[in-house]
Amino acid sequence: MELKEKKVVVIGFGKSGQAATRLLLKQGAEVIVSESKSRESLNENLLKSFESQGVYFETETHKPKTLLSADLIVVSPGVPKEVYEIALKKDIPVIGELELAWQFLSCKDETIAITGTNGKTTTTAMVSDLLKFSGYRVFTGGNYGIPLSELVISEIKVDKVVLEVSSFQLETIKTFAPKTGIIINITPDHLERYVSEEEYAYYKYCVFKNQKFKDFSILPFGEKWLEKFGYLIKGQKKFFDEKENAEASAFLRDERGFILKLEEEEEYSFTGFKLLGRHNKLNFMIASLGARLMGATQESIKRLVKEFTGFPHRLEYIGCFGGVYFINDSKATNVDATLQALKGLQAPLILIMGGRHKGASYASLISYIKEKVKKLILMGESRYIIGEELGLITDTFITETLLQAVTLALKLAEPGDTILFSPACSSFDQFKNYEERGEVFRELVFKYAPLFLKDTSKEVYH
């Protein structure tokens, strides 16, 4: 891609937009940034730094005239398609930061990309650690952490590139083709953006569409969209399964271990594994398969299974007060994530749900709520929507804020209960992101649990 003296419009000036702008400047492009936020809401020093390098900013709007004047448009993930639709109709190329960086990446054949509705960040981190433990220099980024453009700009030499990629990023790829592509799972999500689950699934499968036969395409055995979108898979299919399966390259033998079938059969134990939930064992197995295909050693798997501790806000055990346990699963921003939490935990649970509704049904939770949830506390914008589907299944309470939900849970809790905060919704009704939401939950527990629970003895892990 020749960009010298080309006019490029970058839509959106978040983390990926800033990285794309830096890369474009390095390639000699003339850059205009189109940002819907006001100038006052952006970092003035950052703006001035870019302006000193020749970048022009248009804020509070996306002017059609500006978009139509571009030789290329680089769009940030999640920008509504309607913003740049006018450019597409005029055949102006529109790509994302991921595709832009890919054009200039020198180690394409050493790249693994992980996507899925749930578990992709954890699985990405696992793959990265497995490759690092195997002695490789690894860049980890994409949707998780550092934009790929930053690696290209830095010119740092690495052996392997591990990327988390989202459906938003995959919408705008043209040539992106990882050596190994992984779909962990596909369940309804982002239906506020996509017209159907089918459209969402199509973009997930796009992680495979530019691969060659020598590449690897990892996905669940029996994945329901395979028949429809299997034509996009150009690489060698490698299936995984939750149960023993002769057709799978990886499967869980039971709760105690898993099997990889590569040149020879390899057996691994989960002894010492610290993460809660069967889905995390599945994620670890998937990561192990992907990492082995990229050159990781068997020894790295045996080491990481005992050392990986996970992330905050993902089924994070934060403590025990007065015999009541507290789990922070703020990262559960969709229904399936909460479903996985319920599958992996034991009754009795007091479940706190709610936030900004994302369009999906909550019906898949019904059987597990019946079985395990003694009290259901609903909060946030979606509280009445969730209540219509789940409110008659168990004792259900409606609150507005997280503070109200936590204090009510503490009043209802008895020794032996687990208070699970797993919203099944996005955080944007009351918080800037799921991390902030999880931090607030943790702070509220530490502040109020000793006051509400008679036995103030505590066991705190985080």
Q: Which range has the worst mean pLDDT, 137-141, 248-252, 349-353, 454-458?
A: 454-458
Does 60 have pLDDT greater than 90?
A: yes
Does 357 have pLDDT greater than 80?
A: yes
Shared-domain flag, residues 124 and 264? yes
CB within 8 Å of 443: residues ≥ 6 apart: none
Shared-domain flag, residues 388 and 244? no
* 36, part of any domain: yes
Residue among 377, 418, 437 nearest 277 (CA)? 418
Shared-domain flag, residues 88 and 172? no
Does 459 have pLDDT greater than 50?
A: no
Beta carbons of 96 and 173 less than 8 angstroms apart? yes
Distance in angstroms (rounded) separating the CA atoms of residues 391 and 383: 10
Which of 307, 331, 353 is the C-terminal boundary of a domain? 307
* 1, part of any domain: no
Does 458 have pLDDT greater than 80?
A: no
Shared-domain flag, residues 415 and 294? no
Which 3 state secondary structure label does DSSP give 346?
Answer: coil
Does 457 have pLDDT greater than 60?
A: no
**Percent over 70 (pLDDT), the chain:** 98
Which of 272, 307, 342 is the C-terminal boundary of a domain? 307
**Which residue has 């700009």 as its token pair?**
153
Residue among 310, 277, 328 nearest 436 (CA)? 328
Q: What is the pLDDT of residues 388-407, one digit of tens each?
A: 999 999 999 999 999 999 99
Type of residue found at 395: D
CB within 8 Å of 401: residues ≥ 6 apart: 379, 380, 430
CATH number at residue 86: 3.40.50.720
User: What token pair was written down for 361?
Assistant: 């049904």
* 135, part of any domain: yes
Shared-domain flag, residues 410 and 453? yes
* 229, part of any domain: yes
Per-residue model confidence (pLDDT) at position 316: 87
* 353, part of any domain: yes
Burial class (CB in 10 A: 0-12, 13-18, 19+), 388: exposed
Residue among 406, 380, 377, 372 nearest 391 (CA)? 377
Does 362 have pLDDT greater than 90?
A: yes
Shared-domain flag, residues 132 and 162? yes
Per-residue model confidence (pLDDT) at position 191: 81
* 97, part of any domain: no
Shared-domain flag, residues 294 and 393? no
Shared-domain flag, residues 231 and 259? yes
Q: What is the pLDDT of residues 165-195, one digit of tens each?
A: 999 999 999 999 999 999 999 988 888 888 8
Distance in angstroms (rounded) separating the CA atoms of residues 165 and 162: 10
Shared-domain flag, residues 391 and 431? yes
Q: Work out the pLDDT band at 290, boundaries 50, 70, 90.
A: very high
CB within 8 Å of 403: residues ≥ 6 apart: 444
Shared-domain flag, residues 164 and 291? yes
Per-residue model confidence (pLDDT) at position 193: 85
* 242, part of any domain: yes
Q: Which structural domain, as residue segments, surrounds residue 345?
A: 316-459
Q: Which range has the worst mean pLDDT, 105-109, 143-147, 180-184, 329-333?
A: 143-147
Which of 68, 92, 116 is the C-terminal boundary of a domain? 92
CA distances in angstroms from 304 to 157, 315, 442, listed in the order given: 25, 19, 27
Shared-domain flag, residues 85 and 121? no
Q: What is the pLDDT of residues 6-45, one digit of tens each?
A: 999 999 999 999 999 999 999 999 999 999 999 999 999 9
CATH number at residue 279: 3.40.1190.10
Length of the chain: 462
User: What token pair was written down for 245?
Assistant: 């399966």
Does 138 have pLDDT greater than 90?
A: yes
Number of domains in the chain: 3
Distance in angstroms (rounded) separating the CA atoms of residues 404 and 410: 10
Q: What does the DSSP assignment read for 121-180?
A: HHHHHHHHHHHHHTT--EEEEETSSB-HHHHHHHT---SEEEEE--HHHHTT-SS---SE
Shared-domain flag, residues 329 and 271? no
* 451, part of any domain: yes
Q: What is the pLDDT of residues 322-337, one digit of tens each?
A: 999 999 999 999 999 9
Beta carbons of 15 and 80 less than 8 angstroms apart? no
Average confidence score pLDDT of the chain: 94
CATH number at residue 347: 3.90.190.20
Per-residue model confidence (pLDDT) at position 454: 65
